[in-house]
Amino acid sequence: MITETPPVEEALAELRVALGSQRVDFAELVVIGARAKARELRGDGVAGRRARSRLAESVRAQSLPIDVEAADAVKRVRLPG
Q: How confident is the model at residue 81 (pLDDT cuts 50, 70, 90)?
A: low
Q: Which residues contact 48 (CB under 8 A, 6 or more apart)?
A: 42
> What's the rounded mean pLDDT across residues 63-79?
82
Average the pLDDT over 10-35 and give the result.
94
The pTM (predicted TM-score) of the whole model is 0.51
Top-confidence residue, 39 or 7: 7
Q: Exposed e or buried b for every residue in 6-17, given b needs 16+ CB within 10 A?
A: eeeeeebeeeee
Higher local confidence (pLDDT), 47 or 6 = 6
Q: What is the mean pLDDT of residues 46-55?
A: 86
Domain boundaries, the chain: 24-76
Contact between 26 and 2 (Cβ < 8 Å) = yes
